[in-house]
Amino acid sequence: MSVVVVVGAQWGDEGKGKIVDLLSGNFNITARYQGGANAGHTVIIGEKKYILHLIPSGILHPNVECVIGNGVVIDPVALLEEIKLLEKKGVKIKGRLWISQKAHLIMPYHKLLDTVSEEKEGANKIGTTGRGIGPAYVDKANRKGIRIVDLLDREGFERKLRRNLEEKNELLYKIYGILPLDIEKIIKEYLEFDHRIDPYIKDVSVYLNEAIDNGKSILLEGAQGTLLDVDHGTYPYVTSSNPASGGACTGVGIGPTKISEVMGVIKAYTTRVGEGPFPTELTGEAGENLRQAGMEFGATTGRPRRCGWFDAVVARYSVRINGIDALAITKLDVLDHFETIQVCTSYRYNGKLLREFPTDLRVLQNCEPVYESLPGWQQPTSNAGSWEELPEGARKYLEYLETQTGAPAKVISVGSKRNQTIFRESTT
């Protein structure tokens, strides 16, 4: 029995899509456990580029079944569009994709509220993608959410929707000056959605637990990253769910005793999208050089990512919070041209040295990174097929990151393609 959780160990965008795609071929099932369509996982196979938002990357392996768990909030428009695009590229979906009937739905008013409330915040905005994720999770926590299972009861669905729309329309009109949404149109759209996704609906918890009992292997995939976790991230500049490994069990309905390994995906440097503190951020020419070299633009939004040196304080925190057993270090090749590479080993705040990640946002915002300088290797790594083929300087850099984080580098990515990956030991 092998149940592996793959988590982002920074602020998201660590390259989880490629890593999950690579590992999925060794598993029977891949399951997504939280988040929404704001996540963009990019996978390149040959000359084809796939950008996945809701469906696990394992769908690109024909013998792998895929699950969207109850912890995910589902935008019907995004899901159906993603299914359509994958089928156009020859990917079989039916009979391979299963969706939890407990998953909550993103409604049109969630997207509208997400956009207008963010605009109203002005300089205090969080930096959301405007896809309705946060408001959907708010309704879920407030016990006003609408789940896929609710669509089976048309009368009950209409009653819930009318109750919600009465409240949302009043809010939209009185606070934001937006005319009421058409309830009849929304009812029709979502009942049609129910008809179209009915073949994919399953009791995911039963399905996964039976699979584990039958000796099948499962890969659990999170979206975003640990530092965006609503409980353990840089609150309030976080997502609305739990990307950390603890969210995997509640997000698909299996017990923590079933987990056999946690793998953290982490870049050889650090990036962040949106607002919030970022101690190692590089501004000006240095940051732009790193951004262009790494093509650091959001797969979903196209927004330029903020870039900085590797932050070992963040990495150690992620290892601790998630119980990370091994790391997959991505984008090593982006650092190939640097003469000197910096690694943040601690923070300095008010004359004190901090090795642990601070909880207080005011402290974090005023921390000064303490760097260790390492020599670059200034040789290409993208053609290396093994640990021994990496330049000596690159190996020493990776070994230094292992020492700083306390976790071994099990997988090293040196490019966007599948074959640009080094495995130091078995991944299952």
Known catalytic residues are: 13, 41
Count of alpha carbons within 13 angstroms of residue 52, beta-carbon side: 30
**Residue 153 Cα distances to 101, 137, 160, 199, angstroms:** 13, 22, 11, 17
Contacts 24+ apart (CB under 8 A), 398-404: 398/329, 398/332, 400/343, 400/372, 400/374, 401/268, 401/310, 401/312, 401/315, 401/327, 401/329, 401/343, 402/327, 404/312, 404/315, 404/316, 404/343, 404/345
Local structure of 344: helix, strand or coil? strand
b/e for 59-86, b at 16 or more Cβ within 10 A? bbbeebbbbbbbbbbbbbebbeebbeeb
| Dist CA 358 CA 380 (whole Å) | 36
Cα angle 376, 379, 380; round to 5:
120
Sign of CA dihedral 75, 242, 322, 415: positive
Q: Where are the beta strands (DSSP E) in 260-334?
A: 261-267, 270-272, 306-308, 310-311, 326-330
